[in-house]
């Protein structure tokens, strides 16, 4: 921990995300308590935990949207507050105003806003990058649509495209698989994999424990505190899960065997 403070110019040795003793609260009870972990660059990481366990809070803290009560988030060795724009964000579906008067293309273009000073107009290049990103998620066809006029999976892909257009090294996604059908889930996963291949680091809030092991390189098990962080086999451990989910998990019985036996 000591040596990182001096020499942070060398981003290749620094972890993509370093969360250091993070505590975040909205009221008297902290939503996150003393959370620390380190994510190397180029990994696809899942965040799991029951409702209200602080998954979205963690994402917002890494984004720099929430100010921690204590602790620091470092992105490639730099404090998150100084790394504006290096993280892209795909919001939880429920938190988006789908009636907002904005087209698919315009949403993706927002990914470029951070690259253009406020007094300048968006150049041809920005439009091109936005179009490329739309092409990548195969949504070019819908670029003129208002965002409410898409299916759940398509909406998800638009925000993925925005994150791509942003050109960020770290992508944070809040429940991208919620409310989409199996085929779309695969399509989104493919985009995630592709993004990972391109060297990006992805942190994904996920609610389905049965697919967690298959999708992610490593998992973060969260319930206010960090219960486990590591390979899916280590995290999806029966005892851990029963502690965190307190028996409220229906698929739990199926799941624990998958992990115990593997």
Ligand X SMILES: Nc1ncnc2c1ncn2[C@@H]1O[C@H](COP(=O)(O)OP(=O)(O)O)[C@@H](O)[C@H]1O
Nearer to ligand X, 57 or 195 (CB): 57
Nearer to ligand X, 55 or 86 (CB): 55
- What 3 state SS string does the chain have? CHHHHHCCCCCCCCCCEEEEEEEEECCCCEEEEEEEEEECCCCEEEEECCCCCCHHHHHHHHHCCCCCCEEEEEECCEEHHHCCCCEEEECCHHHCCCCCCCEHHHHHHHCCHHHCCCCCCCCHHHHHHHHHHHHHCCCHHHCCCEHHHCCHHHHHHHHHHHHHHHCCCEEEECCCCCCCCHHHHHHHHHHHHHHHHCCCEEEEECCCHHHHHHHCCEEEEEECEEEEEECHHHHCCHHHHHHHHCCCCCCHHHHHHHHHHC
Q: Is 123 in the site for another protein (CB under 8 A)?
A: no
CB of 163 to another protein, least distance (A): 9
Q: Which of residues 43-72 bind ligand X (CB under 6 A)?
A: 49, 51-57
54 binds, among ligand X, another protein, Mg ion, none (CB under 5 to 8 A by kind): ligand X
89 binds, among Mg ion, another protein, ligand X, none (CB under 5 to 8 A by kind): another protein
Which residues of this protein are in contact with another protein, per CB under 8 A? 60, 63-65, 84-85, 87-89, 91, 96-97, 100-103, 106-107, 110, 113-114, 116, 118-119, 122, 146, 148, 162, 166, 181-182, 214, 253-254, 256-258, 260-262
Which residues of this protein are in contact with Mg ion, per CB under 5 A? 56
Which residues of this protein are in contact with ligand X, per CB under 6 A? 26, 31, 49, 51-57
């Amino acid at each position: 921990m000591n040596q990182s403070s001096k020499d942070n110019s060398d981003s290749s040795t620094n972890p993509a995300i370093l969360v250091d003793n993070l505590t975040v609260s909205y009221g008297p009870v902290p939503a996150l308590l003393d959370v620390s972990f380190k994510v190397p660059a180029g990994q696809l990481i899942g965040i799991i935990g029951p409702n209200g366990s602080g998954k979205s809070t963690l994402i917002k803290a890494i984004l720099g949207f929430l100010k921690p009560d204590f602790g620091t988030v470092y992105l490639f060795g730099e404090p998150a507050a100084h790394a504006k724009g290096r993280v892209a964000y795909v919001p939880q579906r429920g938190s988006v105003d789908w009636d907002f008067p904005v087209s698919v293309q315009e949403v993706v273009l927002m990914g470029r806003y951070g690259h253009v000073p406020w007094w300048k107009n968006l150049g041809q290049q920005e439009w091109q990058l936005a179009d490329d990103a739309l092409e990548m998620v195969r949504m070019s066809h819908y670029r003129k649509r208002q965002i409410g006029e898409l299916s759940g999976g398509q909406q998800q892909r638009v925000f993925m495209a925005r994150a791509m257009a942003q050109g960020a090294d770290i992508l944070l996604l809040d429940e991208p698989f919620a409310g989409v059908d199996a085929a779309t889930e695969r399509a989104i996963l493919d985009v995630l994999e592709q993004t990972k291949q391109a060297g990006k680091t992805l942190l994904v809030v996920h609610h389905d424990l049965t697919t967690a092991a298959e999708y992610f390189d490593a998992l973060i098990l969260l319930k206010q505190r960090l219960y486990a962080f590591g390979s899916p086999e280590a995290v999806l451990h029966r005892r851990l899960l029963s502690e965190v989910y307190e028996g409220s998990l229906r698929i739990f019985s199926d799941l624990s065997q998958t992990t115990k036996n593997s």
